[in-house]
Chain A
């Protein structure tokens, strides 16, 4: 399927990019300061630079399959470990934002569709338009200024309050409190997509012939909406969920940086500034695979809801 092919291509890109970059790939992988000949020899053997290109690629794939994504130049730890320990924090943000945006955005969209042209519709649409045009990180910064700096109601960074150490229920509350702004930012950025698709979808379905038929049978508006309009209109939203997740998976890094959230996003920042390529590439790989997986799942769910599509 296309999903698998994508993953292969991602590997290929990773592979090719290192070799295309100016300079010696091994040096790039080792880090500019490092000049240890032993390390160099080890790396050369690992990546098989003396062998032909296709062989190198196969070797690369093999190593990656075993979970070895290279070693971080800076921390000298396996990349995969570093990612694994941070991934939970990131998932926390991504999943909360994705689900909340889906629910809130869709409800807003449905409401706007049913009351098309009303003041509420105009306001929602306007707000959605503006939110859609904002850089996520800037919005995060603005929220920090307002809520943390001026109003002082919410924490501006981190996942927990470092001054105290809570356990159990208090811990959960503390984390939640710290989650509000970052999740809120991601949420606001994503809502417009769901809003727009829900609104247009409901409007479109409401004008379809079969809805007129159902009305002609004397069926109540409520039943028509809850069962028939909803089921038909929800389909595009499923697709949007996939796209939204893809955006979140890649864009959460920026928000983590703004809010100093201890997730994989911050790894990205240090990796960039220090030019820690193994880490960067490892993250890119994980990210792309996650997106591909999400897309495949979304396709499957879509097929479940739309009987016209069956594999």
Chain B
């Protein structure tokens, strides 16, 4: 009980000490709050096509104006937060799990298995993923679920590479070797020891992946491959393009929202990297 409390305090301390981690965490918490409180914060229902089309900033009670269909920009941005976070988290989860599994297996089992896996990782890392995603989405349909899954399926290589490096070094550690010597099942060792201890740099990398996921989704929407049933910042920029000179606020604020969110995720990722540096962590695992 006491050690749990101490550990928690430890974590809070670490967050306080690293500036980037601090701002990043606050930023993410802020975003989560926005998502949770969205019905309260939004001034209008974003899905409603109102009568005030192309209103300027502040006009008719629309904080950031409206688009050509009368939707309130401010409220749309608030609701778009949920979409972005959803895309970020789910694609990161898929990408992370795949990466950890594949990288862990390769690094831990070694030998031929590892050779094949590393080759695969290297090849996939070279492929231009954005275009592949584009291709797949255009073929398979542009629902937001598809987008999330496809991003997850195409971004696992970097996670796998990190996990593999971790697995390779953890493999030589005494506590793993003794587990092997004691006859523990290899699969058990993988899941009980290797993965929990090697996961930390992957977590930091996944956070970066989240920012990329948001940018990718925005790019897809900009190309017209977004999900029209969902409010997303990328979509907003897309629709705003036609009104660039007359109603610049449609595209601008949505883009700003993306920039701020991505910065938060980068801060978090950078901070995590500082704190969860493998050198640092392996001492904990001892």
Contacts and interface: CB of A to CB of B under 8 A. Distances in A.
B223 A257 contact: yes
Q: Which of B131, B223, B254 has the most CB of A within 10 A?
A: B131
Nearest to A135: B218
B219 A137 contact: yes
B219 to A, nearest CB: 6
A190 to B, nearest CB: 14
Interface residues of A, number: 49
Interface residues of B, number: 40
B188 interface: no
A275 B138 contact: yes
Interface string A104-146: 0000000000000000000000000110111111110110110
B258 A135 contact: yes
Interface of B: 119, 122-123, 126-128, 130-132, 134-136, 138-141, 211, 215, 218-219, 222-225, 234, 237, 240-241, 244-245, 248, 251-252, 254-255, 258-259, 262-263, 266
B264 to A, nearest CB: 9
B245 A133 contact: no
Interface in A239-285: 246, 249-251, 254, 257-258, 268-269, 272-273, 275, 277, 280-281, 283-284
A216 interface: no
Contact of A269 (B130, B223, B237): B223
Interface in A131-172: 132-139, 141-142, 144-145, 149
Contacts of B122: 2
A295 interface: yes
11 contacts: A6-B123, A13-B127, A17-B139, A22-B140, A129-B263, A135-B218, A136-B219, A141-B237, A144-B244, A268-B223, A284-B131
Interface of A: 2-3, 5-6, 9-10, 13, 17-18, 21-22, 28, 129-130, 132-139, 141-142, 144-145, 149, 246, 249-251, 254, 257-258, 268-269, 272-273, 275, 277, 280-281, 283-284, 287-288, 291-292, 295
Chain A binding surface SS class: helix
A275 B224 CA distance: 12
